[in-house]
Amino acid sequence: MRNLLFFIALVLPALAMSQSKSDGKYDAFILTPEPPLTPRITGPVVFGLRPGSPLIFRIPCTGERPIKFTARNMPEGIFLDEDNGILSGVVNKPGSYSLTLTASNKQGSVSRKFTLEVGDKLALTPPMGWNSWYIHYNRISDKTMREAADQMIASGMADYGYQYVNIDDCWMMKLKSKDPDLNGKRRDSQGRIIPNKRFPDMKGMADYIHSKGLKAGLYISPGRYTCAGYEGSYKHEALDAKTFADWGYDFLKYDWCSYGKVAGKKSDPDYYIRPYRLMWNELKMQDRDIVLNLCQYGMGNVWEWGGEVGNCWRTTGDLGLAHRNNLPGFYSIGFSNAGHAEYAQPGAWNDPDYILIGWVGNANKMAEGKPTDLTPWEQYSYMSMWSLMAAPLIFSGDMAKLDKFTLNVLCNHEVIDVNQDPLGKQAILQEKTDQKFVMVKPMIDGSLAVGIFNTGNEIQKMNISWKDLGIKGEKQVRDLWRQKDLGKYTKDFSTEVQAHGVSLIRIY
Ligand code: GAL
């Protein structure tokens, strides 16, 4: 027995470190327990929408299908599709509506409170979903987007709260393109943007995504052209906002790109904020809710003002697949994102870029995807950091090639609860030394979510003291990846942490 435990604890992880490339077959490293057959409602416990805007919300729920959904205290105007668990409709009266959702199947039944905050704030918890960029680049099409929506349901990701299906760059016409699909009039005689030929029906595509209970997102630049050289919104902002709303989109990534050419003088105090304020105001005038994601790589200390004109803002350049300082790039991007913790709050999030695991491509070359180079423990560290930092959880690998290990990283409801906690605090980087760092996130129930990370190349015994965490007395400690109580501790907690790995715990 001891030998077996030794093998599981030490040898397996070491083997993982020694393999340079993942072949998507890391089943032996899966930590997330299988969900029970009985229903379990997961994902956010609060959702914000504006009065008069259409709601579409698929209740994330695991368990054996078919599941029957019911809801108590639904506000007037909201309906529930009891077979698919999709809430839809419109609430006209602002207010905080506390519903009780129930999911039942032949194994049992579960209920959970869920609040609809009908007011002026969107994205009360970090957006969760998928984005096309790091796998499809300029190869993206209507067909691939619809398939991604299908896969969000079929893979089970939607049962954990993933809900945005977002197209990135390259859906518009492209200036000077020789490709007949991309070459054509970029706007019609009224100035309305014309999608390229791979997107014959932008509204139909959004409708299709909505028919699954999911939300649709798209991308454009405030400049004349996007980063990949496609049509931008410059001087068409009002019409574009209206077009996106008419088509039924729920999320807009607004990427600076060529805007520098038309932005004016850097000495202008509004230099950075202007294009975002303009689009934010246009979006607010639409009759549907569109979450605004600022993408301008952290310029002008965007974290200080991003919350005035958007729901989340990229804090750094593109994450990509490159390593930095001998470590996978997500560490340094994460550290720099961690410095802006004080600015995160419900409706306004720091965005350190996407979750790049599974099958992903290299952005510089717009390359075809291949299995991630990250070891299993690096992937746990990545997802743990993003969850602790209340970052948008947007996967950008291949939805068609999701393997069991990748899904175990993306879909652990206790880890996601850390990310989606309604208090909306971002973890602070509490301690950072050469080979260790600790992130601490206060949760709404008074508990602390704590990540103890090992950036060294060997397994290490690591410790955190209650004194450093500012807590006292006997506490229950739970291992979130394994979903297992570890027992009671009174002064501190010690554990072995794998090379480039993490111990993600919750202290009650
Ligand atoms: C970059 C952006 C990426 C991707 C790309 C598209 O500026 O940071 O996330 O959207 O443009 O061209």
The Cα–Cα gap between 126 and 164 comes to 11
Position 20 scores a pLDDT of 36
Q: Give the domain 128-314 fold.
A: TIM Barrel (3.20.20)
Task: Give the distance, in angstroms, between the CA of residue 390 and the centroid of all CA atoms in the same chain.
Answer: 9
pLDDT at residue 269 greater than cutoff 90? yes
- Ligand 1, atom 6, lies closest to the CA of 169
Residue 208 predicted with pLDDT over 60: yes
| Residue 65 CB neighbour total at 10 angstroms | 11
| Residue 255 CA, closest ligand 1 atom number | 7
Both structure tokens of 329? 């790039």
Provide CATH code, domain 40-118.
2.60.40.10
Q: Do residues 23 and 371 make contact, with C-beta atoms less than 8 angstroms apart?
A: yes
500 pLDDT more than 80: yes
Three-class SS state of 351:
strand
CA–CA separation, 272 vs 274, rounded Å?
Answer: 6
Catalytic residue among 159, 250, 318, 353: 318
Q: Which helix (H) or strand (E) covers residue 417, if one does?
A: helix 413-420
The pLDDT value recorded for residue 196 is 98
Let me know if 255 is a catalytic residue: yes
Q: Distance (Å, rounded) from C-alpha 252 to C-alpha 331?
A: 27
256 CA distance to ligand 1 middle (Å):
9
Provide mean pLDDT across the span 31-47: 98
User: What number does the ligand 1 atom closest to the CA of 297 have?
Assistant: 8
Tell me what the mean pLDDT of segment 2-30 comes to: 54
3-state secondary structure of 409: helix
Residue with tokens 């579409």: 56
Mean pLDDT calculated for residue range 204-229: 98
- Quote the pLDDT of residue 24: 57
Q: Please report which confidence band the pLDDT of residue 333 belongs to, taking 50, 70 and 90 as the band edges.
A: very high
Percentage of the chain exceeding pLDDT 90: 92
Q: What is the pLDDT of residue 5?
A: 47
- The whole-number pLDDT of residue 363 equals 79
Instruction: For ligand 1, atom 9, name the residue with the nearest CA.
Output: 318
My answer on whether omega of the bond before 275 falls inside 30° of 0, hence cis, is: no
Query: Domain residues of the chain, as ranges?
Result: 40-118, 128-314
Assess whether 421 carries a catalytic annotation: no
Mean pLDDT for 326-354 is 97
Give me the torsion for CA of 171, 214, 254, 246, rounded to 10°. Answer: 70
**Ligand 1 pocket by C-beta < 6 Å: which residues?**
133, 168-169, 226-228, 255, 257, 295, 318
> Both tokens of residue 185?
């009039």
The pLDDT, as a whole number, for residue 13 is 44
Residue with tokens 């709050």: 345
Q: Which of 128-132, 254-258, 361-365 is predicted with the least confidence, judged by mean pLDDT?
A: 361-365
Burial 320-332, CB ≥16 within 10 A → b, else e: bbeeeeeebbbbe
Sequence-ordered list of residues with C-beta below 8 angstroms from that of 422, at least 6 positions apart, any chain? 44, 45, 46, 124, 125, 346, 444
pLDDT digits (tens, 9 = 90+) for 421-461: 999 999 999 999 999 999 999 999 999 999 999 999 999 99
- 255 pLDDT higher than 60: yes
Please report the atom of ligand 1 found closest to the CA of residue 168.
10
CB 210 within 8 A of CB 216: yes
pLDDT score of 322: 87
